[in-house]
Each structure stands twice: as C-alpha cells, then as structure tokens.
Amino acid sequence: MSKKHRVKHPKRKQLGSLKYQISQLRVEPSDQKSKKPMSVSTVKQYKKHAQEFGAWCKEHYKCKTVDACKKHIQDYSDYLRASGKSASTIHTYLAGVCRVLDVPLDTINKPIRVVADNTRSRGTKAVDERKDAGREVSPRLYDFACIAGIRRAEYLHLTPEDLVEDDFGNPCILVRKGKGGKRQLQRILPEELPAIKAVYGNPADANHLFSKDEMNNKIDLHHLRALRAQQMYRYYLNRIQTENGYREQLISEIRHTWEKDDKARKENGYKAKRWSDMKVTGNYILRGNNRKLAKKHGLPLQYDRLALLAVSIFHLSHWRHDVTVANYLLAV
C-alpha cells in the first residue's frame, strides 16, 4: 500500500504502568451512607496492598490494566492462603485490594478470621530482640508510652500544648489528630502527672513533643498500648468494687461523653446513636475463640461491662467492648 492510501489508525491511549493506574484510582468512603472519609494513612495502606496485588497479577498473569487484574482477586486470595498467611492477614490484604479496585469484599472466598489468628503484639517476636526495640532506645518515649497508650502515628502530632483537663477535671493528653482524623482525650491518673509533665517540659521543638528521629525505632508501641488498657481495666474494676458511689459516678461521666459525642455526630451530619443501659450493666461473657484463648492463658472469661467501656472510651477512643477485649485485653 502506497503512503498516499495508507490508513491512519488512532493512537491507543497510554494508560501508564499498572502501578500508576492503581495510584490514580479514587478510594471511596467505607460508609457510603454517611460518606465518612477515611484517614490519609488508611488510604495509603489500601493503595499499597492494591499495588502489591497489581505487581503479583503482572508477574503471574501478565496483566497490564486494572480491569484485567480484577478477574484474579480470588486467585490472589487462594495464593495468600497457600503461602501460609493467617486469615487476619489475608483479610487485611484483600480489604485494601477490593476497596481500591471497587470490588465487593464479600464476593471473594477467603478464610474466616478468629481472634486466635491475631498475633499482633502477642508473645515474644524476633523484633523484641532487635537493638532498636527496647526501652534503652528511648527511655523518654518508652516511659511516656506506658502511660499515654496512644497509637504510633499519633505521637508525631503531639505538641507542647496538649496536656489538658477533661470536663471532669481529669488530666488528659489531647490527641488532635487520632485515627480517622478524630480528636480524642487520653486520660492519665493524677499520680502519673509529674512524669508526663517532665516530658512536656522538654519537647523536641516548639511544635512537636517527639521528633521524627525519636520515633524512628521498633519499640512495640501497640503492645504498650495493650498493657495500658489492661492496667486501666484493673484500675476501674477495683474502684467500682471498693468505692461507694464510684459506679454511678463513672456511668455519669460515660453518659456525658456519649451525649457530647452524639451532639458532634449530629452537627457533622451523621446519624445519632441510641444509648442503652446494657452497655454498662452486667458482664461481657467471652465466647468461641476468645474464650478458648482466655482459658489457654489463664485470663478471665468475663469482664465488667462498665469498666470495659471506660477503658474503651477514655483510653482507646472507641465504644466497642468486643474490640477492647479481642485486641487489647487478650493481647498476651
């Protein structure tokens, strides 16, 4: 065919690398009804898992587009299972992949998660023996963490101005940007205040309590957070059982916090939550794998609901008994 009669075909649109395609995908909110946004760190983690999946698809199936990868999510799940990954780890990986690629997670066959599979901060791990994992790396951070019990990412957001009191006069550490961007107050005990003040009196700089260099370590801060939750459960339980009127006082503080939180939800356009006295009445009974794990380690098989909720609200910044038990009180 001569150049004069040669047909010109339109150029194929360049999509870029598979990694780039995934990086450009919009991650929708987890709650479509409330449109509540996810934190930047959560989105970043989801994208990371999705890009790892994309690299796997490219290696095993020569995929070049996101749509081509979607057909292999079930294959990826089977691969992770065959590789010996725990049910909890598989769920974490797939949650990111499905959210980023906009595929319903419940359409993927995967192993069922149980609390016994969750080994985070349980027992002795290789990381515990690393030189940058012990208290000697940063006694200042380590001792502060034993009292504060906040998440690792939250330490870099603390400022010298974040030592405050709550509505009841309790000393608290103000976390301005907690999980999901939420503001929270982390209670500390009056007798712990001098140690905390010593840290606040010697900040890394004018705007940060801890520097990035100080946070560059492998100290298991989640484990220290779990130990703090366990300590505070014993603290609340003891006061409930031994001090006349303390149960009523604690319920009043929790109800006040609930109503304040509920007001904020309404102001931000979220649906109000209904209070139930069952949240602070009787015992939370362990069942299934939680019960097996507790028996194995000689831990209680039931927990006072009021003490449990106090730990959840004032030290872990959520309202769920089950999360506190599974992720913190059973973290042995």
Burial (Cβ within 10 Å: 0-12, 13-18, ≥19) of residue 148: buried
pLDDT in tens, 159-175: 999 999 999 999 999 99
Closest CA to 93 of 78, 112, 79, 77: 77
Taking 60 as the threshold, does the pLDDT of residue 237 lie above it?
Answer: yes
How far apart, in whole angstroms, are the C-alpha atoms of residue 138 and residue 136? 5
How far apart, in whole angstroms, are the C-alpha atoms of residue 160 and residue 181? 19
pLDDT score at 315: 96
The mean pLDDT of 201-229, rounded to a whole number, is: 92
Closest CA to 57 of 43, 32, 75, 42: 75
Reply yes or no on domain 18-113 having CATH 1.10.150: yes
In the chain, where does the domain assigned CATH 1.10.150 lie? 18-113
Burial (Cβ within 10 Å: 0-12, 13-18, ≥19) of residue 87: middle
List CB contacts of 12: < 8 A, sequence separation 6 or more.
Answer: none
Q: Length of the chain, please?
A: 332
Question: Mean pLDDT for the chain?
Answer: 85
pLDDT in tens, 260-281: 888 877 777 777 778 889 999 9
How far apart, in whole angstroms, are the C-alpha atoms of residue 222 and residue 270? 30
Please give the structure tokens belonging to residue 220.
């298991």
How far apart, in whole angstroms, are the C-alpha atoms of residue 294 and residue 260? 35
Taking 60 as the threshold, does the pLDDT of residue 101 lie above it?
Answer: yes
Please give the structure tokens belonging to residue 76.
């990826």
Taking 60 as the threshold, does the pLDDT of residue 32 lie above it?
Answer: no
pTM score over 0.85:
no
